[in-house]
């Protein structure tokens, strides 16, 4: 387990993001100006990084570069790509974190490759059998000292078939993360099921419910249904990777459909357009509240090192925020908090 360091170095997988390496470099540069205690280790094609860095405002004392010529593209199969490209930026960055050159990894590239690179280079925390990929989702409610409008859903794809034991570990990990990142002292944790009654759901969910109900130190509130996700009824929603991924994609689909409908309405009729214009300040407010860029990224939980997966569409601000989230997780010893939670 990594101890509490005075200066935190975050390794950024510079390649593989939708907006190209320049955007990741810009994010790290922004971080170098804003956070004196965080150092950025940029892993990727050095000439590209140098060219990008030379033209933007940054603090050279807080940035270093590690050359990696290869990278895994968004459309590549993770396993095959990593086998073919052992010196890809995400693999090298994960290795550097494992070797102690950096304390955490941030990547906006191929999610599968990121998870796989972590599996190869990091160790699972004692008591954790499977890692969980978490995501943040904007909700109606706010939570914690930061008035965080996001709830955490895990797992959304790292462990497709989770056992009851895995679900319990996910609950502990999610709770520790929400406590540290959202400064939410007692995050409400729930299992996603097809009914709120304890006996509802497949056997693994029923068994996980029983175990979680008996755990001290965890604010387990029982089961929630799909409708509770956008309502923000709880702070951490626990499910397996299969269901979580289906939920996540459906929620993204709803968001896209609403946006398309708004665009349709805007084009279709002057009256509707006027109506939208009248609502514009409210829409802007909604955009501010649900701005995922302020969150930066979502963690892969369960490893002894921190990995924050930034969205592929992340711009500089989101990358910088992902770096800050990673540094916060390191500074607050997330791994230790998870281990302690599992021991209870």
> Distance between CA atoms of 94 and 105, rounded to whole angstroms?
7
Interaction mask 103-142, other proteins, x per CB under 8 A: ----------------------------------------
How many binding residues for other proteins (CB under 8 A)? 23
Nearer to other proteins, 21 or 232 (CB): 21
> Distance between CA atoms of 292 and 136, rounded to whole angstroms?
8
Q: Is 175 strand, coil or helix?
A: helix
Q: Which stretch binds other proteins (CB under 8 A): 17-25, 44-52, 190-198, 290-298?
A: 44-52
- Considering the complex, what minimum distance in angstroms separates the CB of residue 4 from other proteins? 16
- Considering the complex, what minimum distance in angstroms separates the CB of residue 89 from other proteins? 13
Q: Are 57 and 33 in contact (CB under 8 A)?
A: yes
- How far, CA to CA in Å, does 243 sit from each of 94, 191, 205? 28, 12, 12
183 interacts with other proteins by CB under 8 A: no
**Count of CB atoms within 10 A of residue 124's CB?**
15
Nearer to other proteins, 51 or 160 (CB): 51
How would you classify the pairing of strands 189-192 and 236-238? parallel
Alpha helices in the chain (DSSP H): 21-34, 46-54, 78-84, 89-98, 111-121, 164-181, 203-213, 228-231, 241-268, 270-278, 280-289, 316-331, 334-343
Can you tell me which of 20, 55, 202, 217 binds other proteins, judged by CB under 8 A? 55
180 interacts with other proteins by CB under 8 A: no
> Distance between CA atoms of 63 and 25, rounded to whole angstroms?
10
47 interacts with other proteins by CB under 8 A: yes
Q: Which stretch binds other proteins (CB under 8 A): 53-61, 180-188, 222-230, 247-255?
A: 53-61
58 interacts with other proteins by CB under 8 A: yes
Can you tell me which of 63, 133, 330, 334 binds other proteins, judged by CB under 8 A? 63
How would you classify the pairing of strands 297-301 and 220-224? unpaired
- Considering the complex, what minimum distance in angstroms separates the CB of residue 105 from other proteins? 16
- Considering the complex, what minimum distance in angstroms separates the CB of residue 56 from other proteins? 5
- Considering the complex, what minimum distance in angstroms separates the CB of residue 217 from other proteins? 36
Can you tell me which of 48, 56, 142, 206 binds other proteins, judged by CB under 8 A? 56
Interaction mask 75-104, other proteins, x per CB under 8 A: --------------------------x---
Order of all β-strands in the sheet with 306-310: 63-67, 38-44, 8-13, 104-107, 306-310, 297-301, 132-143, 148-154, 236-238, 189-192, 220-224
Nearer to other proteins, 39 or 179 (CB): 39
Q: Are 38 and 68 in contact (CB under 8 A)?
A: no
7 interacts with other proteins by CB under 8 A: yes
Interaction mask 239-268, other proteins, x per CB under 8 A: ------------------------------
Can you tell me which of 39, 103, 121, 324 binds other proteins, judged by CB under 8 A? 39
Give burial (CB, 10 Å; 0-12/13-18/19+) of 276. Answer: middle
**Count of CB atoms within 10 A of residue 207's CB?**
16
46 interacts with other proteins by CB under 8 A: yes
Those residues with Cβ within 8 angstroms of residue 104's Cβ, 6 or more apart along the chain or in another chain: 8, 10, 11, 97, 305, 306, 307, 308, 326, 327, 329, 330
Would you tell me which residues interact with other proteins (CB under 8 A)? 7, 9, 33, 39, 46-47, 50, 53-67, 101
């Amino acid at each position: 387990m990594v101890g509490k360091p005075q200066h935190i170095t975050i390794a950024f997988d510079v390649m593989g993001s939708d907006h190209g390496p320049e955007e990741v470099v810009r994010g790290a540069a922004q971080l170098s100006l804003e956070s004196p205690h965080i150092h950025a280790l940029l892993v990727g094609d050095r000439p590209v990084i140098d060219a990008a860095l030379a033209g933007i405002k940054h603090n050279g004392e807080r940035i270093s570069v590690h050359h990696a010529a290869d990278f895994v593209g968004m459309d590549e199969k993770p396993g095959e790509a990593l086998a073919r490209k052992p010196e890809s930026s995400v693999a090298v960055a994960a290795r550097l974190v494992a070797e102690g050159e950096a304390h955490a990894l941030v990547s906006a590239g191929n999610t599968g490759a990121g998870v796989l690179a972590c599996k190869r280079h990091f160790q699972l925390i004692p008591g954790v059998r499977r890692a969980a990929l978490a995501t943040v989702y904007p909700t109606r409610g706010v939570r914690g000292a930061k008035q965080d409008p996001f709830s955490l859903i895990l797992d959304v794809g790292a462990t497709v078939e989770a056992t009851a034991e895995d679900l319990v570990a996910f609950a502990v990990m999610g709770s520790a993360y929400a406590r540290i990142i959202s400064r939410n002292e007692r995050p409400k944790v729930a299992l996603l099921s097809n009914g709120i009654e304890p006996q509802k759901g497949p056997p693994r969910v029923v068994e996980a419910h029983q175990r979680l109900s008996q755990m001290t130190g965890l604010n387990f509130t029982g089961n929630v249904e799909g409708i509770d996700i956008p309502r923000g009824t709880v702070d951490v929603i626990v499910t397996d990777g299969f269901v979580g991924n289906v939920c996540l994609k459906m929620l993204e689909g709803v968001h896209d459909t609403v946006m398309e409908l708004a665009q349709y309405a805007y084009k279709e009729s002057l009256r509707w357009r006027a109506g939208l214009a009248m609502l514009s300040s409210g829409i802007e407010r909604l955009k501010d509240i649900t701005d995922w860029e302020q969150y930066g990224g979502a963690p892969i939980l369960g490893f002894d090192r921190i990995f924050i997966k930034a969205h592929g569409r992340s711009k500089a601000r989101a990358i910088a925020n992902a770096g800050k989230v990673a540094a916060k997780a390191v500074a607050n010893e997330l791994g230790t908090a998870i281990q302690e939670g599992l021991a209870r």
